[in-house]
Each structure stands twice: as structure tokens, then as C-alpha cells.
Amino acid sequence: MLEIQQLRKEMPQVVEGLLRREYTFDEATFSELEAERKSLQVRTEELQATRNAASKQIGILKSQGQDTSGVMAEVAGVGDALKANEVALSALQDRLNSFLRQIPNIPRADVPAGKSADENIEVRRWGAVRSFDFAPKDHTDIGEVLKGIDFETATKLSGARFSVLRGQVARLHRAIAQFMLDTHTEQHGYTEVYVPYMVGPESADGVSSLAKFKDDLFKIEGRDLYLIPTAEYPVTNFVRDTIVDAKELPLKFACHSPCFRSEAGSYGKDTRGMIRQHQFDKVELVQIITPEKSTEAHEELTTHAEAILQKLELPYRKMLLCTGDMGFASAKTYDLEVWLPAQNAYREISSCSNFEAFQARRMMARFKNGAGKTELLHTVNGSGLAVGRTLVAILENYQDGDGSVSIPTALQPYMGGLSKIGAV
């Protein structure tokens, strides 16, 4: 959420910043709300002054032994008017807060302007793309040969965009998640956490706009709870309505969880395979830091996600997202895109974002600085990585002509020393 004082004092700069991400700020509505707020505040102050003056007059009249009934009736009337005004002001503040919570974050100055993913900027590439001496299969066909990915049974159980994993492919999926957690906790300094897979509306709105993106979530029928689309939702909310001791910062969490997404608006996209599903696993990285550390933390967290791809020897590229392709709450985002031979393309496997104080302001997540002053925290998070898409990348990049799949060296200890999954 944007700071209201910034809107009041720097409106032209805010409007310009939001226009960079193709968002037109509704100045007219904001001006109307602000005018109403000011009017109510002025009226409240006037009534308070009238009540205070009348109260003093009552004291004087009493000291003089005079009748105070008329003035007391006036005070009672002022009190009633003041209560009504305060109720109106509170309702207006709720309307203003609701308006502010649907405005996206302002992109950082170093984020390139653009309208779509086509205008994202490639920062660098890592790893050599493998040349095959046979026509590489996609992961769906590989999984069928291995009898390890079963979409038919999943569709019978739950419908489209689900999968059942079996045998060594299921084991490989589990090994990938364990490898990621071990790397992030043992080498990158994160604390592993386990969280609920459902959150309340306050948590959902703390990291993004529930009003704008409710259709992207799965709601629990009869309960005010939502299945998490990412572990970012519960983990970032650890610090909601909290003043963190500065000595505890930075907070660094790694969380493996399933993620549930309705994929609203994705009709016809990636209908084949495991790329875009309603349920998938992910290892999420979250850092909660002081403002002066957020830029450094964003770069660091991104390298931690990259390290997984490098250890697995999967070719990828790092992309700086343009303003038109950024998430609602992000001030700056890097996407990591892994190479998929069957698609002859790089596909997103991690998105790492710096939200600065945007989420913290929504959550009222704060800390006390060295001077004892309370400040908003900054938040950074990213996938480290999406487990299912990592499985897809391994199956496609490590496939052999006989239908088998080699196991990346880094994962072999997690597979009981197995170096290859053979066709069944």
C-alpha cells in the first residue's frame, strides 16, 4: 500500500510512477475522499472546541452558583453531534483505506518501462543448452514412458490441471524439494518453517489486494479462509501487526508447501503437462529486512534461487521485468527462466521481488531503528524454486534416447545413489 502522505505531498510524481506501469490513478475519487475527510476533521475539531468551551463555562457557572442546565443541554447536543461525526469520519477512513489498498506499488526508477513480457530485459544467461542427437520429448511423454506422471487418473480424481506422480518420478519430485530446503537452510542461512495451507482474508490482503485478485484464489466453502497460492502469504504475515526487535533482523525463512491457484484468465494456456496447474509444490524464500538492506537482500535472494539451478546444471536466463509485467505489490522483479528443450524456449521457474515497504504498510509490520523510532520493514521474496517446474526441466534436459532420464549429480544422494531412472 502506498503512503497517503506521499499522495498528498507528491501527487504528480505518484501519478507519473503509476503511469509507467500502465495504471491510471483516480485523482478525482482521491480528491473527493480527501475533501470529505478534511471537512469531517474540521467539523470534529470545531465540535470539540465548542464542547471544551461549554465545559469551562459550566465550571464557571457552578462556581458562581448559577443555573447550568441550559449549557449542559448544549454540551449534550454537541456530544451527540460529535459522536455522529466521529462515526462518519471512521467510515470515510475505511473507504479511503479500501481505495488505497487497490493501488499497485510504484516501480523503482531502474525498472524498464514496458507494456508486456516482450519488453523484459535479459540480464544474463547461465549454462550451455544441450544439443540432442535425437528429437527431445516433452516431460509429458517422458513421464508416460517412465510411468511416472499420470494425468488421466488425476483428471478422474479432480479434473483438469492436476497430476498424479508415481514411483521414481514421485521420489525425484520429493528429492528436489528436500535438496532445495537443505541448500537454503545449510548454505544460505534461511530458517525452515512449516505453515498452514489456508489463510484468512487479513493475511491474503496483507501481501496483495484480496479485492482485486480474489478470483485467483480457492475459497473454502463456509469458512472465511483461502488456500494459499504461495507460502509467501502465511510466511510474510509472521510480522503482521508486529514491532520487530531490530536485533532480530534480517529474518530469513524457507518454506516448502503446496500452492493452489485457480488460474483464472489462463484458459487455453499450457493445458498440456505440468507447467500450469491448480496445485503444485514450491520452496518459497522470504526475507524481512530494514529499508537500507532491501536492495542488497533482493539481489542476494535472487542469487540463492539461481544457485539451485546452477547446482542442478540447468541452463537458465535472468530477466528484469518491465513495468507492465510486474506483480501488483512489486517495486522490482527478476524472473529466472529455465530452458525447456521440448518447447525450445526459456520458461519461468522463479520470480524474485522487492516490495520495499508496500506489504509492510498493509500489514503494519514495523521495527524500531537505532534512534528508537518506529519504521516500516521491507520485504523480499522469491521461489527457490517451483518444484514441479524443476522436475519438468530435469526430465527434459536430462532425458536420454532410450527413454531413460539421468539424475543430476546433486540429487543422487537424495535418490539413494540412483543415477538414472529407466523406462518401465
| 36 is a catalytic site residue | no
Identify the three-state secondary structure at position 402: coil
Whole-angstrom Cα distance, residue 22 to residue 19? 5
Identify the three-state secondary structure at position 306: helix
Rounded to 10 degrees, what is the CA torsion of 331, 332, 336, 337? 80
| 276 is a catalytic site residue | yes
Whole-angstrom Cα distance, residue 392 to residue 79? 68
Whole-angstrom Cα distance, residue 204 to residue 230? 10
- Which residue, among 172, 152, 168, has the nearest Cα to 160 in the 3D structure? 152
DSSP 215-251: GGSEEPTTSS-EE-SSTHHHHHGGGTTEEE-GGGPSE
Name the grid cell of 390: 524443476
Sign of CA dihedral 411, 416, 419, 423: negative
Choice among 163, 351, 353, 383 that is catalytic: 351
The one-letter code for the residue type at 76 is A
| 351 is a catalytic site residue | yes
Beta-strand pair 365-368/242-244: parallel
| 90 is a catalytic site residue | no
- Which residue, among 235, 227, 231, 237, has the nearest Cα to 205 in the 3D structure? 237
| 108 is a catalytic site residue | no
Whole-angstrom Cα distance, residue 247 to residue 3? 26
Choice among 20, 101, 362, 389 that is catalytic: 389
Choice among 130, 276, 317, 347 that is catalytic: 276
DSSP run (H or E) holding 18: helix 11-19
Residues annotated as catalytic (active site), given as ranges: 261, 276, 348, 351, 389
